[in-house]
A and B are shown apart, each in its own frame.
Chain A
Amino acid sequence: MLEIILFYLASGVALAATILAMTRANAIHALIYLIVSLLAVAVIFFLVGAPFAAALEIVIYAGAIMVLFVFVIMMLNLGEKGDARERQWLQPRIWSGPAVLSLVLLCELLYLISSIEGSASAGTVTAKTVGIALFGPYVIAVELASMLLLAGLVGSFHLGRRTLERGS
């Protein structure tokens, strides 16, 4: 019972934070709400028995990727100008079209989820299970992901070096 209450609380926080993140004109405020939303999702992961995923959600998404987002915003430092432009984009005539289309998709998704039989909790997924799954059946996906990351690393190094040389 307590778990269900906690689950709905965390889901509510996640939904509210996400909606606030979308409607804020100030990029930093929006990002803070997005971080809160990610933390709430981590709580949900923990509650449904995936503590490892919850930890990774905090360490990687909230702790690293979002920091880089904030970093980029700091570098750009748009200030009031950015806020004004964002406010212009938040008018109904801009977001109503995509919103209606996504609503259709949401209804479809809800219907599909409700038609699936079975319980939500499949026991706890430990770090060991995740590791065995990653380096067993999904090893090709891991290798592909590492290649993609390496390509990204080499690419960003290349781009960064070019600007350095141009600057000097």
Chain B
Amino acid sequence: MFDWGPILLAVSILIGGVAGAAILTWWERRLLGFWQDRHGPNRLGPWGIGQVAADMIKLLLKDDWVPPFADRMVFIFAPTAIVVAMMMGFAVVPFAPGMQIIDVNIGLLFFLGMTSLAVYSVLLGGLASNNKYALLGGLRSASQMVSYEVFMGLSLMGVVMMSGSFSLVDIVAAQREVWFCFSQILGLLVFVVAGIAESHRLPFDLPEAEHELTAGFHTEYGGMKFAMFMLGEYLGLMLISCMIVTLFFGGWMGPVLIGDWLPPLAWFGIKVCFVINFFVLLRAAIPRPRYDQLMSLGWKVMLPITLVNLVITGAILLWFEEAI
């Protein structure tokens, strides 16, 4: 008997991801409005939820245009790369016990690989546009994302050391008693910052900083191709949130003090929503740094923190191994 479970889950992730991204565009603007003491989209439908449909109709019906000076093949390929890579990343996320498309023993590395492939989208989009602002945005994104990938990978190694596995199911299982957000607080800190930089969202959206680069790498994009970039960005946000919950906040398990009185999927969903809202709050609260500040933050603060975290984690693990 062929197992239809993973395929059903894959289809529901595909639909859920796109729908989630669409709703997030509205939810994010409402939250930003709330935190910045203004309204946000509130006219269409109850609480302005109709704005989602309006935006979608606008993006779908816009003229799908390729500039004549652009590199046509790469220009069309670039926006799809980020969506495909981010969607692939969801394949290893354990939403609930047994509710995962594939449980490979390199799950964490697979996620890192997919996020690093998403860089190409921004890079090639900026290059193919044949426009100086887009090119500058692409260059920035390349150095920003390659740099932050280093800390992103390193910050997770503490988690890997403590759970002894790259498999995300094992990592969740290893948090049965204490979530890694306590024991790996430095790793969590770096991973959150690197996660924002990887999904190039505000405050780290230097590749598309509109005050200096008009719109950065997607200056020349419009209509559905632009929508693909936005979809990729929101998918990246959701993927990073899912990974933070899985790696540091016990995945599908309820908090120890409160207990497991909700189904695992509900706990996972609640935590992911919480993390996404936190990311929106960061966007509302923190201004955009300068580009050199961003890079020196990475190499002069984040890298030492991760290395110290690795040394401490390794030392403590060895210490306790000796005691046993």
Contact = CB atoms under 8 A, between A and B. Distances in A.
A96 to B, nearest CB: 29
Nearest to A77: B135
Contacts of B119: 63, 67
A59 interface: yes
A55 B113 contact: yes
Given A59-B112, A127-B166, A64 B124 contact: no
A75 B113 contact: no
B124 A32 contact: yes
Nearest to A124: B105
Contacts of A62: 113, 116-117
A101 to B, nearest CB: 33
A58 interface: yes
Interface residues of A, number: 25
B77 interface: yes
Contacts of A59: 109, 112-113, 116, 153
A75 B126 CA distance: 12
Contacts of B189: none
A29 B126 CA distance: 14
A28 interface: yes
A58 B166 contact: no
Interface stretch (B11-19, B43-51, B139-147): B139-147
B164 to A, nearest CB: 9
A71 B116 contact: no
B74 A29 contact: yes
Interface in B99-132: 104-106, 109-110, 112-114, 116-117, 119-120, 123-124, 126-128
B123 A71 contact: yes
A118 to B, nearest CB: 25
How many B residues are at the interface, by size bracket?
Answer: 20 to 34
Contacts of A54: 106
A145 interface: no
B28 interface: no
A55 B109 contact: yes
Contacts of A14: none
A63 B117 contact: yes
Nearest to A65: B146
A72 to B, nearest CB: 10
Nearest to B142: A71
A74 B142 contact: yes
Contacts of A51: 104-106
B135 A74 contact: yes
A102 B281 CA distance: 59
Interface of B: 71, 73-74, 77, 104-106, 109-110, 112-114, 116-117, 119-120, 123-124, 126-128, 135, 138-139, 142-143, 145-146, 149, 153, 166
30 contacts: A28-B74, A28-B127, A28-B128, A29-B73, A32-B77, A32-B124, A51-B105, A52-B109, A54-B106, A55-B106, A58-B110, A58-B113, A58-B114, A59-B112, A59-B153, A63-B112, A63-B113, A63-B116, A63-B149, A64-B116, A67-B142, A67-B145, A68-B146, A70-B142, A73-B127, A74-B135, A74-B142, A126-B105, A127-B109, A127-B166
Given A59-B113, A74-B135, 10 more contacts: A29-B74, A32-B74, A32-B124, A51-B105, A56-B109, A63-B116, A63-B149, A67-B119, A70-B123, A74-B138
